[in-house]
Structure 1
């Protein structure tokens, strides 16, 4: 076991593992700033194998996880990997440890307790190899059960709704043109607002059809856009959405529209979508059946664990819809990653300036140079504005 003192002092005789605490910033890699012998303080529910492997490679002294390293919703191999490497793991210490410790503080970890200068600052659950293996086995069994349930629900949903799912029966045709166009479906779930923000460049470049699924339409408005189509129950639409959306699709299992007076008040003609299901699933199905070339989902479950962690009755139909639209459907995080790369301006600026210098020299040697100087100056100003526009 590692024993460290700040400044290279003598080792402590107190039991446990001692080292400088290194706190991972929210959203950063668990190994950011971490060195051998550090006590890594992380916040990773369901610690995965990749993060654990990096911590093992760095030879950290111990790992303190603010969150549960195994929630039970998904088999996490991270705790077992740490145990096999002989690295102590203290689980579920809570967010308070981040406020009570600073990176660089010398801490001692012993039997699930964290001490600084001999004072207990936090405590959690110590995960040894046997406990990690038991947690993994239990989570694996639970995952198998959920997968079986999803398969049964998906099969039942496909059997009942095969005409709509396979042939598009009862899926309405919209007046808004979707055929051959990119569509962004925004649902009010997971990281939808952040997803939509990451699509700013994609929206500017592609002019996609913006479809709000239920409360997702409010996120479109909050981002400064106008929903082209909104899909959901009448009661799920805010007054602002009804005022500003171009086309309203009301989903109803019975065919009857509840509180139609709200639509009359906003003078909205509506399209009925007689179907039962989640707003996001029906919006994706609607976009697919209306010929969208690509469907970007903002607010999709970021991991398989979170997708399967939803209500068992919803996961099966959601899986079927995504299976049908698989050739077109893509997560907003992927699109955002591909379209937010910044353009490096130095090569462009260098080429432009080189060309202008050459042009200037040529003009200075001709009698027409004076007549053209003003025009060149104007064009240069326009060019600078264009380059600056590339940075937005």
Structure 2
């Protein structure tokens, strides 16, 4: 976001586009095109999902659920409105039955297909969103209390994570004594990756892409060493890039993403049943396999970011950070402290190479040879003067 507000379209002006429907927003954005009508079912629309929708530039977003339930002051609706994208809220579950690829028109609070009203919703305004966020702030104390309770329950259920780790299988990627960069397609990941260019060039860390984070690395011109996740929001290009794949599975061993990986011809993927989120698993892998430092890009750190993940995700993330301890550093801290260093020896060689190139250029031209001859005579005079002093 550039901080500038876009002007909201006139609600009476029809907006038409191809319907794209998916209950999972991150899966929808992988096929959403500019001018489409995005139909989602996303209660408490979070910042990451909203930014992904904005990047696709849809004509409008229709949410079957409430974009802000009042549980906490989520930023998603405000981000869409600031980008000038209309948001029709609480359209009801029936809107999810719209046919993918059909043509829909949004006018005011209505969604129409072939002139027939198929859904009515609340078209959010900036004032409505601001009031909802203000009311949601009053509920933060309840959310913090619920988070604390949920975390304690999670610690009791998964205490072996703190004591024994998650049992990392043998991987071919070597972490011993190296830095690890864990990239999540989350908050400000593009900006963080840009600022980390000197660090990537000089430290050469192990590159771990968490689902779509692998594509973020490819976009920067870096091939990930490891891709971790349930493989539902990562491209085929990333999965077949040569990176080692770790498919995050449920505790009972079910791994829905494995079928997709094997269909692409990747037969050596590692299945890892473990609690928590894929982001957590990536950090635990780096920690248990001997990484000296773990740099997190796009990860969750603030209270609102934790709340965006949901209570279960918050608890596992909190527990993971207890486990990895002082090894974990946020990318913003690295970019502020890290400076690209040019060794003095390299500077000396650079100056010498420049002087050599200048001498060669002078030697191959008549004017240059004449200038070198004059300089040689002057040098003889200077040397004779120095000898005369002694």
TM-score using structure 2 length: 0.53
The answer on whether the counterparts of 1:242 and 1:268 sit within 8 Å (CA) in structure 2 is no
Match of 1:273 in 2: 272
What is the match of residue 255 of structure 2?
Answer: 257
Match of 1:152 in 2: 149
CA distance in 2, matches of 1:188, 1:124: 27
Q: Residue 175 of structure 2 is aligned with which of 173, 178, 184?
A: 178
In the TM superposition, what whole-angstrom CA distance separates every residue of 1:94-148 from its partner, at most 9, and x where no partner exists? 7599xxxxxxxxxxxxxxxxxxxxxxxxx986xxxxxx9xx98x66652222222
Residues 310 and 232 (structure 1), Cα distance of their counterparts in 2 relative to 1, 3 Å cut: closer
Could you tell me whether the CA contact under 8 Å between 2:211 and 2:232 is conserved in 1? no
- The match for 1:225 among 214, 222, 225 is 222
Q: Structure 1: 5+ residue runs without aligned partners? A: 1-24, 29-70, 75-90, 98-122, 126-131, 370-392
The answer as to 2:269 corresponding to 1:246 is no
SS at match of 2:169: coil
Secondary structure of the structure 1 residue equivalent to 2:255? coil
Residue number in structure 1 paired with 2:15 = none
Once the 2 structures are TM-superposed, how far is the Cα of residue 267 of structure 1 from its aligned partner? 3.2
Mapped partners of 1:296, 1:225: distance in 2: 16
Distance in 1 of aligned mates of 2:193 and 2:282 = 16
* Structure 2 residue matching 1:196: 3-state secondary structure: helix
Question: Is the alpha carbon distance of 1:177 and 1:72 closer, same or farther for their aligned partners in structure 2, counting shifts above 3 Å?
Answer: same
Distance in structure 2 (CA, Å) of the matches to 1:333 and 1:277: 24
- Judged with a 3 Å threshold, the aligned counterparts in structure 2 of structure 1 residues 366 and 286 are, in CA distance, closer, same or farther, namely farther
Unmatched segments (≥5 aa) in structure 2: 5-69, 85-124, 356-371, 384-390
SS of equivalent residue, structure 1 residue 330: strand
Q: Tell me whether 1:294 sits opposite 2:293 in the alignment.
A: yes
**Aligned positions, number:** 246
**1:163 pairs with 2:160:** yes
8 A contact 1:150–1:315 mirrored in 2? yes
Secondary structure of 1:273's counterpart equals strand
Tell me how far apart the structure 1 counterparts of residues 136 and 313 of structure 2 sit (CA, whole Å). 21
Q: CA deviation at 1:274?
A: 0.8
Alignment of 1:66-85 (within 5 A): 73=72
Deviation at 1:302, TM superposition (A): 5.8
